[in-house]
């Protein structure tokens, strides 16, 4: 299969060269790739205009439909003509084009760190041979074919890229189907599901969504000025403020007739600060805000108090006590710690990846819940839903919201756990078990969106605290543990940038706790630091003894996809925690040069 079965659609024209010519237009600092061609001698001026532009926005796809026409024409040709003698033609093809435009600005103590803008466009081909019951998909190590695309909406350049990628995908699919049939012939899969479930044909476009205005000077000025706030707190050893702006513009087309165009803006403002206690261990905390509209970002005057509060919290943690002994007993999770724990230790099991095939046979799916449909997984009266159509939580934009998934399936709210029993899991058009709901393909894999735990009869904070104290007494513990904030990997990565990392410690299992309090039976509250939560598994969630009445939000990034977790306070009857003794790092020999 070395020869291309569909010939080069541009072999007899000069389009191959013309397609690579750049088209630029500068109008009041805006770069529009749909404008007239300029001679190469003018490109330097254009590039300089980009660098100093006050406002930059991605051009998107041209109004003449060049991208859609290129994809549609090559897809129709491939469906009719792409074939190797003796092998099947494709029964399904999906094309996608994604254009990413992003700006990142970071600053520390009033000095700019990394600040840059990046724009790129790539295409994706998912081609299958066989049929929906048994096709070439899900062979271990295989992914849809990806390729970099021309930045402009040039019909010839885009079609040529998809011609080559489609040929590669077809050859790969023919080999994979033969290998997959060989694997299945050697084993009996009684519970095997179809490789692709039906989906309604959909035509959708987010015409109202606007790109994020990339105001470079404003972004740099904001993070620079706000980062100066931390210079007033000499006890801090590290701090950073950042602003990330991103627009994802995507076009999807499949051979069943579905077409989707989406524009998804994302804005994240954040700050992180770290200090070191006298014993050498570090304490740190963070603030983040997610937005869809840059105009809704709070003013500098409103953000500054939040950053000062962050600095005060971190400095206060330096003087907090440490656990003298390992703790086993009731633990109450409040605020975003409850949502974080729910997301990382329970909700992620609700979107298992489907099984894959290799020469060694079929793998199991990656989750542990799909075979427990109908069984209790949470206490009675508790439910879990996933709602990608929900766009806000209070005053906060949910960056996890979407209307259509990456397979062109309309998004919808789904009840996953009802009255404590698992009803279904999330999946793509490749089913996982007999009880799963498609419409959750995000970057090629099943993912949740806004996953919320609902308690039918939640208790007030005061009632939960009273229960916590009572349970500590029943366990003959002098105190109980309340955890207010857990580790955030997203914020932690910011600290690791430019750090020697020797403050991290390491070597211990369990979840890092950023803020916690010992609640003594006599009413005293003692903050503790450098606590590490012990193992928490799915069985622990079945025995939760108390739920709050006020939900909190925690947002987590999985690559370039956001998932939001919502949960009220959670009271566990018995978990373990201990002092983080994994590494005690000696403080620097000299004081910080910023110290008074």
Tell me the pLDDT of the chain (596 aa) as tens digits.
444 556 666 554 444 434 333 322 323 333 333 333 333 333 333 332 333 333 334 445 655 689 999 999 999 999 999 998 888 899 999 999 999 999 999 999 999 998 888 999 999 999 999 999 999 999 988 888 999 999 899 999 999 999 999 999 999 999 999 999 998 888 777 778 899 999 999 999 876 666 777 778 888 999 999 999 999 999 999 999 999 999 999 999 999 999 999 999 999 999 999 999 988 889 999 999 999 988 899 999 999 999 999 999 999 999 999 999 999 999 999 999 999 999 999 999 999 988 888 876 666 555 568 778 899 999 999 999 999 999 999 999 999 999 999 999 999 999 999 999 999 999 999 998 888 889 999 988 999 999 999 998 899 999 999 999 999 999 889 999 999 999 988 888 887 775 555 445 444 446 889 999 999 988 899 999 999 999 999 999 999 999 999 999 999 998 889 999 999 999 999 999 999 876 566 777 788 887 76
C-beta atoms surrounding 284 within 10 Å: 26
Could you give the CA distance from residue 184 to residue 64 in angstroms, rounded to a whole number?
47
> Both 44 and 147 in a single domain?
no
> Both 42 and 93 in a single domain?
no
> Both 130 and 154 in a single domain?
yes
Q: For the chain, how big is the Rg over CA atoms in Å? A: 27
Domain for residue 99, yes or no?
A: yes
Closest C-alpha to 137, from 193, 84, 81: 193
Burial 559-590 (b: 16+ CB within 10 A, else e): eebbbbbbbbbbbbbebbbbbbebeeeebeee
Could you give the CA distance from residue 30 to residue 55 in angstroms, rounded to a whole number?
6
DSSP state of 424: -
Contact 570, 546 (CB under 8 A): yes
Integer CA distances (angstroms), 563 to 366, 452, 553, 558, 596, in order: 18, 11, 10, 7, 43
Could you give the CA distance from residue 354 to residue 269 in angstroms, rounded to a whole number?
35
Domain for residue 243, yes or no?
A: yes
Which residues are CB-neighbours of 505 under 8 A, at least 6 positions away?
281, 580, 582, 583, 584, 585
Domain for residue 310, yes or no?
A: no
CA dihedral 246, 251, 252, 255 (to 10 degrees): -170
CA dihedral 533, 527, 305, 228 (to 10 degrees): -80
> Both 177 and 28 in a single domain?
no
Q: Which residues are registered as beta bridge partners of 321?
A: 528
* Phi, psi (degrees; rounded to nearest 5) at 403: -95, -30
> Both 33 and 73 in a single domain?
no
> Both 38 and 127 in a single domain?
no
Residue range(s) defining the domain that contains residue 44: 23-53
Residue 214: the pLDDT is: 73
DSSP state of 278: T
Listed residues 242, 268, 294: the one ending a domain: 268
> What CATH number is given to the structural domain containing 126?
3.30.2290
Could you give the CA distance from residue 386 to residue 402 in angstroms, rounded to a whole number?
12
Which residues are CB-neighbours of 369 under 8 A, at least 6 positions away?
349, 350, 352, 377, 422, 425, 538
DSSP string for 458-503: -B-HHHHHHHHHHHHHHTT-SEEEEEEEE--HHHHHHHHTT---TT
> Both 49 and 123 in a single domain?
no
> Both 49 and 174 in a single domain?
no
DSSP, collapsed to helix, strand or coil, labels residue 451 as strand
Domain for residue 217, yes or no?
A: yes
Closest C-alpha to 142, from 403, 353, 356: 356
Domain for residue 246, yes or no?
A: yes
Count of domains observed in the chain:
2
Count Cα neighbours of 56 within 13 Å in the Cβ-side half-sphere. 24
Residue 494: the pLDDT is: 82
Q: What is the reported pTM?
A: 0.87
Contact 49, 29 (CB under 8 A): yes
Residue 5: the pLDDT is: 57
Could you give the CA distance from residue 552 to residue 215 in angstroms, rounded to a whole number?
32
> Both 181 and 225 in a single domain?
yes
């Amino acid at each position: 299969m070395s020869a291309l079965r569909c010939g080069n659609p541009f072999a007899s024209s000069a389009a191959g060269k013309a397609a690579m010519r750049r088209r630029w237009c500068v109008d009041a600092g805006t770069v529009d790739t749909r404008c007239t061609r300029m001679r190469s001698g003018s490109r330097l001026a254009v590039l300089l205009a980009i660098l100093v532009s006050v406002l930059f926005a991605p051009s998107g796809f041209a109004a003449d439909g060049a991208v859609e026409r290129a994809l549609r024409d090559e897809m129709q040709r491939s469906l009719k003509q792409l074939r190797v003698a003796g092998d099947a033609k494709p029964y399904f093809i999906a094309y996608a084009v994604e254009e990413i435009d992003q700006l990142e600005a970071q600053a520390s103590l009033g000095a700019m760190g990394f600040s840059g803008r990046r724009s790129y466009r790539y295409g994706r081909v998912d081609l299958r041979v066989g049929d929906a019951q048994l096709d070439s998909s899900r062979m271990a190590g295989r992914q849809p074919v990806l390729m970099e695309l021309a930045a402009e909406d040039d019909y010839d350049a885009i079609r040529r890229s998809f011609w080559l990628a489609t040929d590669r995908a077809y050859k790969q699919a023919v080999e994979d189907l033969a290998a997959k049939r060989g694997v299945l012939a050697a084993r009996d899969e009684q519970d095997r599901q179809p490789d692709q479930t039906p989906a309604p044909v959909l035509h959708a476009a987010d015409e109202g969504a606007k790109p994020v205005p990339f105001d470079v000077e404003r972004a740099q000025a904001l993070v620079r000025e706000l980062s100066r706030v931390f210079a007033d707190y000499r006890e801090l050893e590290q701090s950073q403020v950042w602003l990330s702006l991103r627009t994802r513009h995507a076009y999807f087309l499949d051979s069943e007739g579905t077409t989707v165009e989406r524009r998804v803006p994302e804005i994240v403002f954040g700050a992180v600060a770290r200090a070191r206690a006298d014993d050498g261990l570090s304490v740190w905390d963070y603030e983040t805000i997610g937005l869809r509209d840059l105009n809704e970002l709070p003013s500098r005057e409103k953000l500054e108090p939040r950053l000062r509060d962050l600095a005060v919290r971190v400095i206060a943690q330096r003087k907090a006590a440490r656990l003298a002994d390992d703790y086993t007993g009731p633990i109450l999770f409040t605020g975003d710690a409850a949502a974080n724990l729910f997301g990382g230790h329970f909700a992620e099991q609700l979107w298992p990846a489907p099984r894959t095939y290799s020469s060694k046979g079929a793998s199991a799916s990656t989750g542990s819940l799909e075979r427990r449909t109908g069984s209790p997984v949470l206490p009675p009266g508790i439910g879990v839903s996933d709602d990608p159509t929900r766009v806000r939580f209070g005053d906060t934009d949910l960056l996890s919201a979407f209307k259509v998934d990456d397979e062109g399936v309309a998004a919808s709210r789904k009840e996953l756990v009802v009255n404590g029993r698992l009803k279904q899991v999330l999946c793509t058009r490749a089913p996982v078990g007999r009880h799963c709901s498609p419409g959750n393909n995000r970057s090629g894999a099943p993912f949740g969106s806004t996953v919320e735990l609902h308690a039918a009869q939640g208790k007030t904070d005061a009632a939960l605290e009273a229960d916590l104290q009572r349970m500590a007494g029943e366990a003959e513990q002098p105190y109980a543990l309340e955890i207010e904030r857990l580790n955030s990997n997203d914020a932690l990565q910011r600290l690791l940038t430019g750090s020697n990392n020797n403050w991290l410690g390491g070597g211990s299992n369990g979840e890092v706790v950023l803020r916690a309090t010992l609640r003594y039976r006599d009413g005293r509250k003692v903050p503790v630091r450098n606590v590490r939560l012990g193992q928490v598994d799915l069985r622990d969630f079945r025995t939760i003894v108390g739920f709050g009445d006020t939900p909190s939000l925690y947002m987590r990034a999985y690559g370039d996809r956001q998932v939001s977790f919502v949960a009220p306070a959670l009271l566990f009857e018995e978990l373990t925690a201990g002092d983080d003794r994994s590494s005690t790092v000696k403080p620097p020999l000299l004081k910080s040069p910023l110290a008074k």
